[in-house]
Structure 1
Amino acid sequence: QARVERMEQFQKEKEELDKGCRECKRKLAECQKKMKELEVTDPESGKGELEKLQAEAQQLRNEEKSWENKLEELKKKEKNMPWNVDTLSKDGFSKSVFNVKAEEKEETEEQKEKKHKSFVERYEKQIKHFGMLRRWDDSQKYLADNPHLVCEETANYLVIWCIDLEVEEKHALMEQVAHQTIVMQFILELAKSLKVDPRACFRQFFTKIK
């Protein structure tokens, strides 16, 4: 439990840094645009304003560098995290336990969309049920009974559901579903790093994380 809480806290921190960095880049682009406009339309009388904008741009460049440094630090920290996928896969997860997943042909965007739509139409009720589960044992048992849910389509549906809940300002419910989204994404990441089918390694994931 503590491991996933740390995982969620880390994810939140990463999102906040990403957001700050993007906002800083947006402001810098806006400032540079104003400077160019001023240089073209009013180079003489707009000198004072131009100097002000240049100082602002320099400050924003410094801020941007600071955001990027923080993100870099966070990425280094992520690699040393005990819940990192690579760490987990080395720590007690063996490829020999699983059937190695055959390389799949790359799907087109249209094929992915069609597959997602068809999957959701068929299993939406089950995905929502999984999204509402709170206990590790319940999640593990439900996936064991419904292994078809261990896939990208489930993770994608849960992400969209989270966004919808946030828009509707149902924050507590969104946090619950976000927890299950992270669990599903983590299983998929682990499977990817081990080059196995996610259905073959979710049980070991729960054993390790509990």
Structure 2
Amino acid sequence: MSRIDYSVWDHIEVSDDEDATHPNVNTASLFRWRHQARVERTEAFRKKGAELEEALAESKHELTRAHEKAGELAAGSSKARDDIERLKREEREWEEKVAAHRREEKKTPWNADTLCRGGFSKIAVINDVKTESVGEETETFMSFEKRYEKDVKRFAAMRSWDDSEEYLSDNPHLLCAETFNLLMMMCVDLEVLKKRESLEQTAHQAVVMRFISRLAKALKVDPRACFRRFFSKMKAADQRQLDTFADELECFKEEVRSAAKSPAWKAMDEAQRELEKEEERLEVFESLPEEMQRCFDRKDVRMLQEVIGRMEPAEARAHMKRCVKAGFWVPGAKVDGGDDDGGSDKEEDDA
């Protein structure tokens, strides 16, 4: 007995007598209209399924958030229990709707568009898959930061849904995890500096990136393929969506405040500041005349005084002022057993 299920062939929207039409009917136009109507029905059905899947994913996320909030509140909070029960009911309702839509999809008759589809509609080139180490991830992020930091800062300043959507459309390379991570770091820096207004704006844009990432994960697509759907929902002023976004924004700002207080961040911030100072020192050193560079390399104060003496006074003052600022020269320091380097001090004093 055959175990192959041939029932899928019982309902196919393909007629053997489609060529037989009334002489007064334009056959090509008729078939074209029928095909267009069928394509529109299929697209509407597919869009409905995607919206149901998205709603189910959002419901699961809200339920998870409710459990987290319940853990933060006092044990046995009646409001927290009521919210969790309500969200569980909503989740079951969405699951039933998704299941019903999938059953309906299986019953949909095949047609000329769905009967024959390529088995390989896309090509995936897979190289040796390697899990990035922490060092490699850091290197990737630093490379992204160096290349696109200005673009991310411009995005952080966007204050409307339309502007943000248009900017991401023009800069699709920002639709990635590195953008969110960079915005997160910017937020922590702003929290440390107590710049509340700038923090509020940057945090808002970071949460935008987080929502787009979650939507892409729920739909199993690239963020570039679904970011417009997120903005459409936000611009439609769906109160439930806006409330969810506002709650997420508050949670994110709390994450930022916690990160800013952590010893790890303080140590990293100090290391970053020291690295920036070293880069500034190197930049100043490389811009000095070669004779002055040799003086600092050899730590020869008398040679430095001679080199400065041969320069124009204004040029000497400018160079020494930059050296003092970079930490190469300390005015009034004692050298050679207590002798004061008066000549060089004079140049700095004149500056």
Look up the match of 1:148: 173
Look up the match of 1:162: 187
Look up the match of 2:134: 109
Contact 1:136/1:206 (8 A) holds in 2: yes
Q: Deviations over 1:38-68 (max 9, x none)?
A: xxxxxxxxxxxxxxxxxxxxxxxxx5x458x
For 2:191 and 2:183, the matched residues in 1 are separated by: 12
SS of residue paired to 2:132: coil
Matches within 5 A, 1:31-42: none
For 2:211 and 2:85, the matched residues in 1 are separated by: 17
| Cα drift, residue 175 of structure 1 | 0.7
Look up the match of 1:189: 214
Distance 1:105 1:192, change over 3 A: farther
Distance 1:109 1:79, change over 3 A: farther
Pairs aligned (count): 141
SS of residue paired to 2:232: helix
- The higher radius of gyration belongs to 2
In structure 1, what residue type is equivalent to 2:175?
A: V
Distance 1:72 1:109, change over 3 A: farther
- Which protein is richer in helix relative to its size? 1
Look up the match of 2:227: 202
Distance 1:194 1:121, change over 3 A: same
For 1:111 and 1:72, the matched residues in 2 are separated by: 46
Look up the match of 2:339: none
Q: Are positions 1:119 and 2:144 aligned together?
A: yes
Distance 1:111 1:172, change over 3 A: same
In structure 2, what residue type is equivalent to 1:137?
A: D
SS of residue paired to 1:162: helix
Matches within 5 A, 1:1-210: 17=69, 21=72, 63=74, 65=75, 70=80, 73=83, 77=87, 106-210=131-235
| Cα drift, residue 112 of structure 1 | 1.6
| Cα drift, residue 158 of structure 1 | 0.6
Q: Deviations over 1:163-190 (max 9, x none)?
A: 1111111111111111101000100111
| Cα drift, residue 76 of structure 1 | 6.9
For 1:128 and 1:78, the matched residues in 2 are separated by: 39
Look up the match of 2:41: none
Distance 1:167 1:118, change over 3 A: same
Distance 1:80 1:169, change over 3 A: farther
- Cα-Cα RMSD: 3.9
| Cα drift, residue 73 of structure 1 | 4.8
SS of residue paired to 2:158: coil
Distance 1:78 1:198, change over 3 A: farther
| Cα drift, residue 107 of structure 1 | 3.0
Contact 1:17/1:71 (8 A) holds in 2: no
For 2:175 and 2:89, the matched residues in 1 are separated by: 25
For 2:82 and 2:138, the matched residues in 1 are separated by: 33
Structure 1: give runs of 5+ residues left out of the alignment. Answer: 1-9, 25-62, 91-98
In structure 2, what residue type is equivalent to 1:167?
A: V
Distance 1:129 1:109, change over 3 A: same
Distance 1:174 1:204, change over 3 A: same
SS of residue paired to 2:166: helix
In structure 1, what residue type is equivalent to 2:212?
A: I
| Cα drift, residue 114 of structure 1 | 1.2
SS of residue paired to 1:208: helix
Contact 1:119/1:153 (8 A) holds in 2: yes
For 1:78 and 1:172, the matched residues in 2 are separated by: 37
Distance 1:194 1:66, change over 3 A: same
